[in-house]
Amino acid sequence: MQPRTRGEHASAGSLLAWGRDRLRASPAIDHWHSAIAREDAEDLLALALGVAVEELERDGTVTPRVERRFRESVERRARGEPVALIRGSVDFAGLRLRVRPGVFVPRGSTELLAQQAVAALRRRRSPLLVDVACGAAPVACAVAAALPAAEVWGVDIDPAAVRLARANARLHHLANLHLRVSDLLSALPSRLRGEVAAFTLHPPYVGREEIRGLPREIRRYEPRHTLTDGSADGLDLVRALLGEAPGWLRRGGSVLIEVAPYLSRSVQSLMRRGGFEVGVAADPGGLTRVIRGRFG
């Protein structure tokens, strides 16, 4: 940054360049594409200014208070803390959702799962969705908001996740969303048996030996039980749901599962073996991320 005389305010452009260089040099960040440092610096300056990132004016100047806030958040990010946790929220399917340390941070890629669930339920009379392993409840909230007539359930084994999910449901006044602490489906009310139109699942699908190979910032900031179910191939929770789901689904109901593209074929064959009719949905890059299994 250029030296400044006393009282002179920093320009947004020079702060962004400083932040980008600081983040680019950080070994604690997963630089999985070349623009990460620049994008994160922009997000953090927008956060410090309290504006949307599209509203950033590089030619403008910022007050010393904003500059201090920005520099502090860049230092947190440089130590590996994800931008979403620094901000305390993510935007998902048009909803601002709270996030907190200890609960899996919803990813933009999961919007496809929510879209597929809405499409599966839209044509149904009395649509009923159960979002298994709901975490902060991005999918459950998105579906409950898009389809106010739907009855939506979210379950997660982690009480901290369910507390956060409830806060998100309250934030968006989603009276049609019900949340329970539950190991898989164990705490679902038995009146839902035979009534469920769709299950969604974004499971902890990383194989137990593969955890070590994940970027450090993910291993450090996402709890282990949100990343792996402890099985060798990461698909035990998927197997368990596919085994239990037929007892809960109504005729023609579906199970929609999001996994990394490299696991798509394994999930498809598990579904076929379980008697499901299989379809897939790809992300904008053409990679299969959601596998749909229709039962009965």
Ligand X SMILES: C[S@@+](CC[C@H](N)C(=O)[O-])C[C@H]1O[C@@H](n2cnc3c(N)ncnc32)[C@H](O)[C@@H]1O
Residue indicated by tokens 């009855």: 151
CB of 248 vs ligand X, minimal distance in Å: 14
- For residue 237, the number of C-alpha atoms closer than 13 Å in the C-beta half-sphere is 26
Q: Which of 57, 183, 209, 277 binds ligand X (CB under 6 A)?
A: 183
Contact call for residue 104 and ligand X (CB under 6 A): yes
Contact call for residue 161 and ligand X (CB under 6 A): yes
Question: Going residue by residue from 197 to 216, which x/- string records binding to ligand X, judged by CB under 6 A?
Answer: -----xxx------------
Which residue of the chain is nearest ligand X when measured via CB? 135
The smaller minimum CB distance to ligand X, of residues 23 and 83, is found at: 83
* DSSP helix/strand/coil, 147: coil
How many residues interact with ligand X (rule CB under 6 A)? Answer: 23
Q: Which of 157, 235, 241, 256 binds ligand X (CB under 6 A)?
A: 157
Phi, psi of 89, deg, nearest 5: -160, 160
Contact call for residue 268 and ligand X (CB under 6 A): no
Q: Which of 217, 222, 224, 219 is nearest to 30 (CA)?
A: 217
CB of 223 vs ligand X, minimal distance in Å: 7
Q: Which of 149, 201, 197 is nearest to 177 (CA)?
A: 149
Contact call for residue 80 and ligand X (CB under 6 A): no
β-bridge pairing 177-181 and 151-156: parallel
Contact call for residue 226 and ligand X (CB under 6 A): yes
Contact call for residue 110 and ligand X (CB under 6 A): yes
The smaller minimum CB distance to ligand X, of residues 106 and 253, is found at: 106
Q: Which of 86, 112, 184, 281 binds ligand X (CB under 6 A)?
A: 184
Burial of 123 (0-12, 13-18, 19+ CB in 10 A): exposed
* DSSP helix/strand/coil, 198: strand
Contact call for residue 293 and ligand X (CB under 6 A): no
Q: Is the CA virtual torsion 168, 170, 171, 173 positive or negative?
A: positive
CB of 189 vs ligand X, minimal distance in Å: 16
* DSSP helix/strand/coil, 195: coil
* DSSP helix/strand/coil, 219: helix
- Is 225 in contact with 192 (CB distance < 8 Å)? no
CB of 222 vs ligand X, minimal distance in Å: 8
* DSSP helix/strand/coil, 131: strand
Within its chain, how far is the Cα of 78 from the centroid? Answer: 22
CB of 119 vs ligand X, minimal distance in Å: 18
Instruction: Choose the stretch contacting ligand X; rule: CB under 6 A; options: 68-76, 93-101, 153-161, 276-284.
Output: 153-161
Interface positions with ligand X (CB under 6 A): 104, 106, 110, 133-136, 138-139, 155-158, 161, 183-184, 202-204, 225-226, 229, 237
